[in-house]
């Protein structure tokens, strides 16, 4: 009958094993941290990709909008009417009605926010359309409250020549301090 | 003989194609006006509009973006519209969050609309669509018509003919804006 006696490892081997275990234990947290850093870097990359994609989408949307506008309103026939307000203390804008060659094309009601935006220097694109080359007549009727809070309605007419290029018309509401009255003037650009 | 049959078949085929194209074009032309004026269905963007309210202030729907909007089309001659307006008022009054009610009266007479608003004690803006341009834009066929519009301006629910109970509105608003 034989009995096996468990043999002890040599002292040197035991020391090596202990050192290895210690090393592994110490290295473990560093390993986790490295993984976490890697994961964070990965997330950052994904986030950057998403942001880049969003930017591309915005750019694409802008290009499509331009393309659509160029197709629907080519420069050869394009007419745009803008509205701006300079000071405007004598006139509280309520609505603007636009007629082109006797046909109503826009009737725009202004909310308080929109009027405030115009007073802060905003310029509104009131109308965008197509017209053939030649002479045309634009009539703008402004409605609102005039001096002393009275109901105020004023029309302004402009005749313009539409040439081959795009035509821009700006309607401006300004104050005529000498008469304490609002003034409505029209500027044109080619 | 064979070539004559072949030519005849080709001629018939071409005729059938042309007829099919013509029918499709005619159907498209007939359906287009119907589709163009269709009421905004759930999932579609609510068409923007601006109208004067009964106090004379101009209100634009797009300025309520960011809020859930209960839009109710009504008229003074429509009995169930009164319940619809009260439901809309109760549904938004109950909320702490941003939800607003807007009423659009299709009455031609502002005084009639004002008297209904006064008798119901409505606290939300009532807009007057005397020219019924917004009614046409939303293709209002039956009154009352209630639309629930989310924060992005998309129609989420519509109810026509019957006034929608306030509890139902509140439940739908909570789903949109928990």
Residue partners of A47: CB distance under 8 A and separation at least 6: none
Domain limit, last residue, from A33, A52, A72: A72
Domain limit, last residue, from A72, A93, A119: A72
CB B42 within 8 A of CB B157: yes
Our count of domains for chain A comes to 2
A110 and A162 share a domain? yes
- The predicted pLDDT at position B29 comes to 52
Nearest-Å Rg of the Cα atoms of chain B is: 23
Burial of B92 (0-12, 13-18, 19+ CB in 10 A): buried
A58 and A83 share a domain? no
Between chains, do A112 and B58 touch, taking CB under 8 Å as contact?
Answer: yes
Chain A touched by B63 (CB under 8 Å): yes
Check which CATH number belongs to the domain holding A129 and give it. Answer: 2.60.40
* B33, pLDDT greater than 60: no
**Domain-located, residue A6:** no
**Domain-located, residue A3:** no
A84 and A164 share a domain? yes
Rounded distance between C-alpha atoms, residue B103 and residue A173, angstroms: 33
* B96, pLDDT greater than 70: no
Q: The whole model's pTM is what?
A: 0.70
A107 and A53 share a domain? no
A18 and A83 share a domain? no
Rounded distance between C-alpha atoms, residue A84 and residue A99, angstroms: 18
- What are the distances in angstroms from CA A30 to CA A27, A37, A101, B119? 5, 10, 79, 75
A185 and A116 share a domain? yes
Domain limit, last residue, from A48, A72, A96: A72
Which residue of chain B has the CA closest to A115? B58
Span A11-22, pLDDT tens digits: 667 777 777 776
Rounded distance between C-alpha atoms, residue B78 and residue B143, angstroms: 7
Chain A touched by B52 (CB under 8 Å): yes
Per the structure, the complete domain to which residue A85 belongs is given by 78-189
A123 beta partners: A84
Between chains, do A111 and B58 touch, taking CB under 8 Å as contact?
Answer: yes
Burial of B149 (0-12, 13-18, 19+ CB in 10 A): buried
Chain A touched by B48 (CB under 8 Å): no
Residue A7, sorted as left (phi over 0), alpha (psi -120 to 50) or beta, turns out to be beta
Chain A touched by B65 (CB under 8 Å): no
- The predicted pLDDT at position A30 comes to 55
CATH architecture of B50-176: 3-Layer(aba) Sandwich (3.40)
CB A81 within 8 A of CB A162: no
Six-digit token string for B69: 């909007």
Q: What is the DSSP letter of B63?
A: G
Give the SS3 label for residue A150: coil
Which residue of chain A has the CA closest to B58? A111
Min distance A74 CA to chain B CA atoms (Å) = 25
Span A70-103, pLDDT tens digits: 888 888 899 999 999 987 788 899 999 999 999 9
A20 and A39 share a domain? yes
Between chains, do A111 and B59 touch, taking CB under 8 Å as contact?
Answer: yes
Which residue of chain A has the CA closest to B57? A111
Six-digit token string for A151: 């109901």
A90 and A40 share a domain? no
Between chains, do A108 and B50 touch, taking CB under 8 Å as contact?
Answer: yes
Chains A–B, number of C-beta pairs less than 8 Å apart: 19
CB B145 within 8 A of CB B67: no
**Domain-located, residue A4:** no
Six-digit token string for B137: 């834009």
**Domain-located, residue A56:** yes
A160 and A89 share a domain? yes
Rounded distance between C-alpha atoms, residue A12 and residue A20, angstroms: 12
A56 and A83 share a domain? no
Residue A98's closest CA among A116, A76, A121, A124?
A124
Residue B151's closest CA among B104, B108, B97?
B97
A86 and A52 share a domain? no
Min distance B60 CA to chain A CA atoms (Å) = 7
* B79, pLDDT greater than 50: yes
Which residue of chain A has the CA closest to B53? A111
- What are the distances in angstroms from CA B100 to CA A85, A95, B2, B64, B166? 31, 25, 76, 8, 14
Between chains, do B60 and A112 touch, taking CB under 8 Å as contact?
Answer: no
- The predicted pLDDT at position A104 comes to 94
**Domain-located, residue A130:** yes
Which residue of chain A has the CA closest to B59? A111
Between chains, do A111 and B60 touch, taking CB under 8 Å as contact?
Answer: yes
**Domain-located, residue A2:** no
Q: Please name the residue ranges forming H helices in A73-155.
A: 112-119
pLDDT average, residue stretch B48-61: 94
Span A111-167, pLDDT tens digits: 999 999 999 999 999 999 999 999 999 999 999 998 888 899 999 999 999 888 899
Span A24-67, pLDDT tens digits: 665 555 556 667 788 888 888 899 999 999 999 999 999 998 88
**Domain-located, residue A57:** yes
């Amino acid at each position: 009958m034989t009995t096996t006696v468990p043999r002890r490892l040599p002292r040197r081997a035991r020391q090596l094993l202990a050192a290895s275990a210690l090393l592994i234990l110490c290295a473990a947290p560093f390993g986790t941290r490295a993984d976490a850093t890697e994961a964070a870097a990965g997330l950052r990359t994904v986030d950057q990709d998403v942001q880049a994609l969003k930017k591309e989408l915005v750019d694409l949307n802008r290009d499509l909008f331009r393309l659509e506008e160029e197709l629907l309103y080519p420069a050869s026939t394009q007419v745009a009417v803008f509205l701006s307000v300079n000071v405007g203390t004598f006139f509280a804008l309520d609505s603007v009605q636009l007629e082109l060659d006797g046909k109503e094309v826009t009737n725009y009601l202004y909310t308080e926010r929109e009027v405030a935006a115009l007073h802060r220097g905003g310029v509104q694109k009131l109308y965008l359309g197509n017209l053939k080359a030649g002479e045309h007549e634009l009539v703008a009727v402004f409605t609102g409250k005039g001096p002393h809070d009275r109901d105020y309605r004023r029309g302004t007419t402009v005749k313009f020549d539409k040439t081959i290029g795009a035509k821009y018309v700006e309607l401006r509401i300004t104050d005529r301090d000498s008469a304490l009255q609002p003034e409505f003037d029209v500027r044109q650009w080619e | 003989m064979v070539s004559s049959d072949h030519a005849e078949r080709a001629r018939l085929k071409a005729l059938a194609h042309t007829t099919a194209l013509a029918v499709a074009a005619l159907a498209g032309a007939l359906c287009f006006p119907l589709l163009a004026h269709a009421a905004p269905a759930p999932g579609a963007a609510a068409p923007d509009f601006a109208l004067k309210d009964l106090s004379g202030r101009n209100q634009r729907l797009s300025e309520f973006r960011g809020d859930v909007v209960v839009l109710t089309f009504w008229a003074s001659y429509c009995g169930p519209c009164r319940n619809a307006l009260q439901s809309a008022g109760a549904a938004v009054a109950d909320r702490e969050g941003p939800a607003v009610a807007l009423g659009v009266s299709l009455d031609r007479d502002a005084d009639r609309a004002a008297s209904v608003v006064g008798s119901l004690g409505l606290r939300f803006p009532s807009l007057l669509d005397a020219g019924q341009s917004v009614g046409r834009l939303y293709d209002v066929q039956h009154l009352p018509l209630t639309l629930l519009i989310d924060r992005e301006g998309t129609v989420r629910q519509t109810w026509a003919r019957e006034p929608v109970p306030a509890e139902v509105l509140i439940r739908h608003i909570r789903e949109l804006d928990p």
